[in-house]
Amino acid sequence: MIRKLLILFLVLLVQTGCSLDREQRLINRVEFMMKQPEHKIDVSKAKLTIDKVIDPSININASLKEIETIAIQIKALAGEEAVGTANITKFLYTKGAWNGHKIYDYYSYHDDEVVSTDVKASLLPTYLNTKRGNCVAMPVLHYLVASKLGLDVYLTHVPGHILFKHKDEQGNLTNIEATDFGRVNDDAFYIKHMAITDKAIQNGIYLRPLTKRETVSVLLTKLTVFYAKKKEYEKAIAMSDMSLKYFPGFVTPLVQKADVIAKIYAREQKRAKEQKTKPNKEYLASLDKQCGNLYNKARELGWREKPKSFSEQLTELLAAKLKEKREEK
């Protein structure tokens, strides 16, 4: 009996070690990509590698092929005319034989609202397989397909949301909202509804076209969320640090890191209470100082705390528009 338990323990130990090694290898691969010259960074591979950390079953090559196939189909449907954003919008968001009469849609308006904010809803393969995504997967797919078709596009972000910009031949930038069937919105729309400060715009915190390296840093923040939900706080902090290393002015990982440190603070207090011991005051003071410094740095860049329900405001607004759009169809 003891021998069987020992063997089981060793098997579990090896499996855990393999899992940790697997995750770290994938993360190392992402960082290797981020170290490359800008023109050599492959955002599609980086995104899928990040997703594979979350879901080991993901087949990166298969998903890359699916993205390539979508681009080829759009080009074929366009015929002799030049491919533009309208062609992609039609393929993804209008029912037709090209998409099996099922549009690429926003997750939460069909399923549990919580699903749209779940980490797995942001996975690109999930979106490709189910045609249901969130404000990460949807703009990323649109952006990647547009890039493959030779369009000049850039991902950008606002608080808690990702979208992308298209630059036309005259150099004009247009915001395209993938969660709203490719609707075009100006910067003022997001500034108003997301309560973005003038300081944040001046500092390039939000709505600025991102480089590929910065884009990968933005996508990497999902790993911070992933590890924080698993209460693997040290790993979550490591992901925030990695994002900041390659995108120093990125406010999201500053706030995420502060939030994680606050969770560590609460964990230490709870542990001391449960063990009926005195908490390490010096350690708690250090955590409190780190947390405060990070929030202050974010505020200096133009970030502001949002009201408790504010994160749902844009989602609700887009939900109403989506409902109208579906009724029209």
Q: For 142-161, write each residue's pLDDT tens digit.
A: 999 999 999 999 999 999 89
Residue 327's pLDDT band, with cuts at 50, 70 and 90, is low
Q: Give the model confidence (pLDDT) of 234-257 as tens digits.
A: 999 999 999 999 999 899 999 999
99 vs 3: which has the higher pLDDT: 99
Per-residue pLDDT of 180-216, as tens digits, reads 889 999 999 999 888 899 999 999 999 999 999 999 9
- The reported pLDDT for the residue numbered 300 is 95
* 321 vs 33 pLDDT, higher one: 33
Q: Is 20 exposed, middle or buried (0-12, 13-18, 19+ CB in 10 A)?
A: exposed
Backbone torsions φ then ψ of 325, nearest 5 degrees? -65, -40
Question: Which tokens go with 305?
Answer: 């705390």
Q: Which two tokens stand for residue 190?
A: 């997001």
**Domain range list for the chain:** 1-35, 42-210+309-329, 211-247+250-300
Write down the CATH number for the domain with range 42-210+309-329: 3.10.620
Contact between 46 and 246 (Cβ < 8 Å): no
Average pLDDT of the residues in 301-312: 66
Cα 101 to Cα 52, 68, 90, distances in angstroms = 29, 20, 12
User: What average pLDDT does the structure give for the chain?
Assistant: 87
Q: How confident is residue 92, by pLDDT bands cut at 50, 70 and 90?
A: very high
- Tell me the CA distances in angstroms from 71 to 56, 137, 174, one per residue in order: 26, 16, 21
Give the model's pLDDT for residue 312. 55
Task: Out of 34-48, 51-65, 267-281, 291-305, pick the least confident.
Answer: 267-281
* Exposure on the CB side of residue 62, measured as CA atoms within 13 A: 9
User: Is it the case that residue 325 has pLDDT exceeding 60?
Assistant: no
Mean pLDDT of 53-71: 97
Residues 207-226: tens digit of each pLDDT: 999 999 999 999 999 999 99
What's the confidence (pLDDT) of residue 231? 95
Q: What is the mean pLDDT of residues 281-303?
A: 94
- Number of Cβ within a 10 Å radius of residue 275: 9
Model confidence over 161-171: pLDDT tens digits?
999 999 998 99
Q: What pLDDT is stored for residue 107 in this prediction?
A: 74
**pLDDT of amino acid 309:** 39
Give this prediction's pTM: 0.85
Cα 66 to Cα 21, 54, 176, 288: the distances in Å are 28, 20, 22, 46
CA dist., res. 233 & res. 231, Å (int): 5
Least confident of 82-86, 108-112, 180-184: 108-112
Phi, psi (deg, nearest 5) at residue 80: -85, -15
Q: What is the pLDDT of residue 81?
A: 82
The pLDDT value given to residue 114 = 44
pLDDT of residue 181: 87
Tell me the C-alpha distance between 248 and 258, whole Å.
15
Q: Residue 320: pLDDT band by 50, 70, 90 thresholds? A: low
pLDDT at 261 over 70: yes
